Structure 1
Amino acid sequence: MKYLCLAYYNPAEFAAMAPADMQALVSQCPAKDAQLKATGQLRVSASLGEPETTIRLQPRGGKTQKIDGPFTEAKELVGGFFIIEAASAEEAVKAASLHPAATLGEQAGWRIDMHPIGFFEQYDGKA
């Protein structure tokens, strides 16, 4: 089973951190990311752009409407995501627990929500 893991942060709490504290936190991330990658269960990992760069597509009046972000005033935002593959929910939790947002950054409001993916196809762009 594959799991979509959404890594959240609190922009206000993150911005309130002293620069040295922020650097100390962020400098720990590469080693944590390497631990997760070393499990062999990581399939995709990415950071998301700033909320101002977000584009929303939605149906309105039978046509697709494009709206530039940000969209809501939110206390927490998704800052990144990753997909892991695991034989069980317990195994998925163990792997996802290695991600920096699960082990670090309490002062920045970091956390992870895990969602089982019911189906998953990878598209390579070939016909």
Structure 2
Amino acid sequence: MPTYIALTYTADVDWTAPEQAEEMAQYSRFGQESADVIRGGAVLYPTGTATTVRVTGGEGGDVVLSDGPYAETKEALTGFFLLECADLDEAIRHATRIPAAWNGAVEVRPVPDLPAMAPSE
């Protein structure tokens, strides 16, 4: 069955903060309701904790680090779910139940199965 990533874009908040408890409960409900298709996922710390890495001149070039996100936006990438669904329509049905879709956005993309990217045993 194909895998889809559902990227959540919401206000840039700290999901571990007590004031996010009510919304986290909504995510928990989604997790329980869609447990049969969820294969992974995580929330992310706020973009202020990010470090952007660039290598100038290609592989082996100079490493340039920047504090914070790559771009400033109203909504930030705040988490993701990996969904194993029969098709895009099913993935979209599940994405409509992710709380980020109600006050932000959820981007759904197919994830290619690339054997060369699989961890070696």
Letter matched to residue 9 of structure 2: Y
Equivalent pairs, count? 113
Aligned-residue Cα RMSD (Å) equals 2.7
The equivalent of 1:82 in structure 2 is: 81
Q: TM-score, normalised by structure 1?
A: 0.70
2:9 is the counterpart of 1:8:
yes
For the Cα contact (< 8 Å) 2:43–2:79, is it kept in 1? yes
Runs of 4+ in 1 over 4 A off after TM superposition: 120-125
Letter matched to residue 76 of structure 1: E
Letter matched to residue 34 of structure 1: Q
For the Cα contact (< 8 Å) 1:33–1:100, is it kept in 2? no
Instruction: Note the residue ranges of structure 2 that are not aligned, 5 or more in a row.
Output: none
Alpha-carbon shift at residue 24 of structure 1 (Å): 4.2
The equivalent of 2:54 in structure 1 is: 58
Instruction: Note the residue ranges of structure 1 that are not aligned, 5 or more in a row.
Output: none
Distance in 1, matches of 2:43 and 2:81, equals 9
Distance in 1, matches of 2:114 and 2:37, equals 15
Which structure has the highest helix share of the two? 1
The equivalent of 1:118 in structure 2 is: 112
Task: Summarize the alignment of residues 12-91 of structure 1 with structure 2, pairs less than 5 Å apart.
Answer: 24-37=22-35, 40-62=36-58, 63=61, 64-91=63-90
- State the identity as a percent: 26
Alpha-carbon shift at residue 33 of structure 1 (Å): 2.0
Letter matched to residue 60 of structure 1: T
Alpha-carbon shift at residue 112 of structure 1 (Å): 0.3
Distance in 2, matches of 1:25 and 1:80, equals 13
